[in-house]
Amino acid sequence: MQEDDKREYLDPEQMYEKLEKSVLEQNPSVDTARLRAAYSCAKGAHEGQKRREGSDYITHTIAAAQICVEMGLDEDSVVAALLHDCIEDTKLTHADISKRFGITVADLVEGVTKLTRVQYTSKEDEQMENMRKMLMAMAKDIRVILIKIADRLHNMRTMQYQTKEKQRTKSLETMEIYAPIAHRLGMQKIKWELEDLSLIYLDPIGYKEVTDALEERMPVLETFMQSMEQKIKLRLDDWGINGTISGRIKHIYSIYRKMYSQNKQINEIFDLCAFRVIVDNIADCYNVLGHIHDMFKPLPGRFKDYISTPKPNMYQSIHTTVIGSEGIPFEVQIRTWDMHHTAEYGIAAHWKYKSGEQGVKQGDEEKFAWVRRLLETQADSDAENFIHDLKIDMFSDEVFVFTPQGDVINLPAGATPIDFAYGIHSAIGNSMIGAKVNGRIVPFERVLQNGDIVEVLTSKSAPGPSRDWMKIAKSGSARTKIKQWFKKEKREENILNGKAAFESELRLAGIPMSAVTDEEMLPNILKKLAVFSLDDVFASIGYGGMTATRAVNKVKDEIQKTQKLPQKTTLEKMNERAEIRKAQQTEKISVHGVLVEGLDNCLVKFSRCCTPVPGDDIVGFITRGYGVSVHRTDCKNYLTSKDDPKDGGRWINVSWAAAPSESYVTTIKIMARERSGFVMDIATVLNSLGAKVLSLAARDLDGVKSTATVSLEVKNTAELDIIIGRLKTVAGVTEITRAGD
Ligand code: MN
């Protein structure tokens, strides 16, 4: 940390002019009016905001834009870099920016903003890897990541003005996230700088040790480098090879890592110095290699040819380590200019070529294929399209979400909280009773987005998964786990459900059940289906191991083999199916008529404890995987559980839809003095009112009192009130209550 803190406030105008000049150098046809407009716009928006050291805030965004220019990014990126903090820190919106600078720039700025908002926590390597992938996926357009890296680089360069706390967290994030991303994108120069800057704050003592040791050796190293450089230069000149030679001390962090991870002293580290020879063509690379090995003694096992076998991040060079005249080993890297640009700026070098006079170079498609390889994507996506719109679409089939602890979980795109729960552990999935995304309870169908924080609510007494979950789950592994649960835990239920499905399918096929259970037929059918009993068939259908259609088809085949079934015409079959569909649909619609706040399409059922009907004040309870159950607000269960710390949070607002048209089932309880003919009288009243009674059960309580429970269908409370009013006039009736009261 430099303490020579002679604060000089930076002059934005001057910085901007320098920026414009650099942009013009790279691309003379750039729209400078647009560039200046972006500068003034950002300047106005950040007016009054200061950097910690006292300069105007705009100096940061100009500096970030300058880095983007050095990377060779295109005009849109530079404009976006100037505006990159506007959505986050000023009143400007995506729409404002889009209107003035186009949708591309607005999207880039918004992308950077999203990345800025991601919270990091330090984790083990695998977690970090997912985090990096998530950032790449969120960025969508690779330029977003590059602008973010430029932003981070400038922030790291000015980190000395920040608090200790911020220095540490930002440096850790840089070391764990941004330097590796820069590395993967092949941006060596930026990666080195990010690492060195981070090290200053992460291990100030270690950093100082390395720099002190280097400084001590500096006079020797410098003389040495000069003489080596000259020697090589002379040799190349003699042989008429046009080459540029430069020597450098390796970056601090790479020396630091060797010293601490391999437990070495600085004088035990070989290549402190590295020379780079840049030539015009590949043939010269190998020529130079020959001369170097002729002049100095090569160290065995230190020769690497990344020209014939490039690194996955597109890096190409020949590396060799030799021993110089003073016995000091040094590394030589030999490459062409083309390879050099790629090594310095990686993927960003793409724009350098692109803005050059001949447009996109042949072979760029090939060059960019590595990004996808590198980031382990699907092998079958289309490389050309990827290059064409420079989108990071390699993660389009994946989504990355957080656990509340900050772990990143990788799921298939379209995944739901159910996939998430089973992705963590099947025990979590099986005991799931609800889910929160970003702190709010959501339906299980909710599709997760990159960066969502997902929390699974579990309970020991959870009833286990519901069959609907298999339809909701996106990942095969979650579905398999749910199936396994049903197979294991729910044989009885599977048999019941499977039997029902089998029977209805059988009816469709026009086969009577008796034909299946027929003594002569049954053994053949079981053999055909490869099971021991019909229950096995039902269980398998029940847990989803076999479809009812498939089972019935096999049964049909088997029966047709032995006897001729009356064949139905296709039209008849279609009509039958249509009828059944219709019946199923009406059944589904009848559960509607209730609006659930925040949920569009969830399963609604009416509680059995208080059987609400339209007109009642109602409230919904998010059940364990079976949708929302609707209760009356005066229901005992609601009143006792609404403040419960565990379940209280699961009550949500529901309301009757504007015009509920169907009937609702409700239950009433009639208390009366015991007398003969009581039930008869009740039935007569109900009949005279045309009430749709589903059941009526009466019981003698103690010879003095009796009670009747009536289940009936009504449209609303008004209708129910009339019925209750008339029943009260029946002789002997003392009280009428609704169930749940
Ligand atoms: Mn920034």
Q: Which domain holds residue 59?
A: 3-202
Candidate from 86-100, 201-215, 329-343, 660-674 with smallest mean pLDDT:
660-674
| pLDDT of the residue at 354 | 43
Cα-flanking dihedrals φ and ψ of residue 654, to 5°? -135, 160
213 and 344 part of one domain: yes
177 alpha carbon to ligand 1 midpoint, in Å?
16
Q: Which residue has the tokens 């190349």?
A: 236
112 alpha carbon to ligand 1 midpoint, in Å?
9
| pLDDT of the residue at 85 | 95
User: Across residues 524-542, what is the average pLDDT?
Assistant: 83
Question: Of all residues in the chain, what percent carry a pLDDT higher than 90?
Answer: 21
Q: Going by DSSP bridges, is the β-strand pair 604-606/628-632 parallel, antiparallel, or unpaired?
A: parallel
Query: Does 516 have pLDDT greater than 90?
Result: no
Query: Is the entire prediction scored with pTM above 0.85?
Result: no
User: Across residues 723-734, what is the average pLDDT?
Assistant: 87
Query: Does 18 have pLDDT greater than 70?
Result: yes
Q: Is 644 a catalytic residue?
A: no
634 and 496 part of one domain: no
Task: Tell me the pLDDT band of 138, cut-offs 50, 70 and 90.
Answer: confident
Both tokens of 92, joined, read: 């400007």
User: Across residues 603-632, what is the average pLDDT?
Assistant: 80
116 alpha carbon to ligand 1 midpoint, in Å?
8
Report how far residue 204's alpha carbon sits from residue 2's, in angstroms, rounded to the nearest whole number. 12
229 contacts 245 by C-beta, under 8 angstroms:
yes
Q: Which strand (E) or helix (H) includes residue 629?
A: strand 628-632
390 alpha carbon to ligand 1 midpoint, in Å?
23
102 alpha carbon to ligand 1 midpoint, in Å?
20
Query: Does 626 have pLDDT greater than 90?
Result: no
135 contacts 182 by C-beta, under 8 angstroms:
no
In this predicted model, what pLDDT tens digit does every residue of 553-607 receive, in sequence order? Answer: 888 888 777 765 455 555 565 556 555 555 544 433 334 577 777 665 566 777 8
280 contacts 336 by C-beta, under 8 angstroms:
yes
In the predicted model, what is the mean pLDDT of the chain?
80
The answer as to whether 394 is a domain residue is no
Task: Tell me the pLDDT band of 506, cut-offs 50, 70 and 90.
Answer: confident
65 alpha carbon to ligand 1 midpoint, in Å?
10
Q: Residues 6 or more apart from 503 whose CB is under 8 A from it?
A: 513
136 and 251 part of one domain: no
| pLDDT of the residue at 40 | 95
122 alpha carbon to ligand 1 midpoint, in Å?
22
Both tokens of 320, joined, read: 């060799």
The answer as to whether 358 is a domain residue is no
8 alpha carbon to ligand 1 midpoint, in Å?
20
| pLDDT of the residue at 61 | 96
Query: Does 371 have pLDDT greater than 60?
Result: no
> Which one of 202, 235, 264 terminates a domain?
202
| pLDDT of the residue at 574 | 57
| pLDDT of the residue at 4 | 47
Q: Is 89 a catalytic residue?
A: yes
* DSSP code string of 330-393: EEEEEEEHHHHHHHHHGGGHHHHHHTSTT-SPTTHHHHHHHHHHHTT--TTS-HHHHHHHTB--
190 and 214 part of one domain: no
194 and 62 part of one domain: yes
397 alpha carbon to ligand 1 midpoint, in Å?
30
141 alpha carbon to ligand 1 midpoint, in Å?
18
680 alpha carbon to ligand 1 midpoint, in Å?
82
In this predicted model, what pLDDT tens digit does every residue of 71-97 receive, in sequence order? Answer: 888 889 999 999 999 999 999 999 999
15 and 161 part of one domain: yes
The answer as to whether 123 is a domain residue is yes
300 and 315 part of one domain: yes
Task: Tell me the pLDDT band of 370, cut-offs 50, 70 and 90.
Answer: very low
| pLDDT of the residue at 691 | 79
| pLDDT of the residue at 122 | 66
Report how far residue 232's alpha carbon sits from residue 53's, in angstroms, rounded to the nearest whole number. 45
* DSSP code string of 385-427: HHHHHTB--TTTTEEEEE-TTS-EEEEETT--HHHHHHHH-HH
| CATH number where 418 lies | 3.10.20.30
| Helix, strand, coil % over all residues of the chain, rounded to 5 | 50, 15, 30
Query: Does 373 have pLDDT greater than 70?
Result: no
161 alpha carbon to ligand 1 midpoint, in Å?
15
349 contacts 72 by C-beta, under 8 angstroms:
yes
> Which one of 202, 229, 255 terminates a domain?
202
In this predicted model, what pLDDT tens digit does every residue of 633-662 receive, in sequence order? Answer: 888 888 888 887 777 777 888 888 765 557
438 alpha carbon to ligand 1 midpoint, in Å?
25
189 and 52 part of one domain: yes
The one catalytic residue in 89, 129, 365, 489 is: 89
| pLDDT of the residue at 350 | 54
User: Across residues 651-675, what is the average pLDDT?
Assistant: 78
593 and 725 part of one domain: no
Candidate from 216-225, 318-327, 502-511, 594-603 with smallest mean pLDDT:
594-603
The one catalytic residue in 76, 88, 452, 674 is: 88
45 alpha carbon to ligand 1 midpoint, in Å?
14
Which of 216, 160, 183, 138 has its CA nearest to residue 370? Answer: 183
| pLDDT of the residue at 364 | 44
173 alpha carbon to ligand 1 midpoint, in Å?
15
Candidate from 105-119, 127-141, 147-161 with smallest mean pLDDT:
127-141
85 alpha carbon to ligand 1 midpoint, in Å?
5
| pLDDT of the residue at 687 | 79
Q: Phi/psi zone of residue 595: left (φ > 0), alpha (ψ -120 to 50 degrees), beta?
A: beta
User: Across residues 347-355, what is the average pLDDT?
Assistant: 51
Report how many domains make up the chain.
Answer: 6
The answer as to whether 648 is a domain residue is yes
| pLDDT of the residue at 151 | 96
| pLDDT of the residue at 376 | 34
Question: Of all residues in the chain, what percent carry a pLDDT higher than 70?
Answer: 84
Report how far residue 341's alpha carbon sits from residue 352's, in angstroms, rounded to the nearest whole number. 9
The answer as to whether 382 is a domain residue is no
User: Across residues 713-717, what is the average pLDDT?
Assistant: 84
| pLDDT of the residue at 363 | 44
28 and 168 part of one domain: yes
Which of 439, 436, 426, 485 has its CA nearest to residue 456? Answer: 436
Q: Say which DSSP state 453 is in.
A: B
**How many Cβ atoms are within 10 Å of 593's Cβ, its own excluded?**
19
245 alpha carbon to ligand 1 midpoint, in Å?
36
> Which one of 605, 630, 656 terminates a domain?
656
The answer as to whether 389 is a domain residue is no
105 and 135 part of one domain: yes
The answer as to whether 383 is a domain residue is no
93 alpha carbon to ligand 1 midpoint, in Å?
16
| pLDDT of the residue at 391 | 36
58 alpha carbon to ligand 1 midpoint, in Å?
10
Q: Residues 6 or more apart from 445 whose CB is under 8 A from it?
A: 416, 472, 601, 602
| pLDDT of the residue at 524 | 84
Task: Tell me the pLDDT band of 507, cut-offs 50, 70 and 90.
Answer: confident
In this predicted model, what pLDDT tens digit does every residue of 438-452 receive, in sequence order? Answer: 888 888 889 998 778
The answer as to whether 364 is a domain residue is no
Cα-flanking dihedrals φ and ψ of residue 701, to 5°? -85, -55
User: Across residues 407-411, what is the average pLDDT?
Assistant: 80
Query: Does 721 have pLDDT greater than 70?
Result: yes
Query: Does 377 have pLDDT greater than 50?
Result: no
| CATH number where 57 lies | 1.10.3210.10
| pLDDT of the residue at 349 | 59
252 and 320 part of one domain: yes
| pLDDT of the residue at 2 | 45
| CATH number where 213 lies | 3.30.460.10
Report how far residue 334's alpha carbon sits from residue 423's, in angstroms, rounded to the nearest whole number. 47
In this predicted model, what pLDDT tens digit does every residue of 478-488 receive, in sequence order? Answer: 888 888 888 77
Query: Does 368 have pLDDT greater than 70?
Result: no
| pLDDT of the residue at 571 | 56
| pLDDT of the residue at 62 | 96
484 alpha carbon to ligand 1 midpoint, in Å?
50
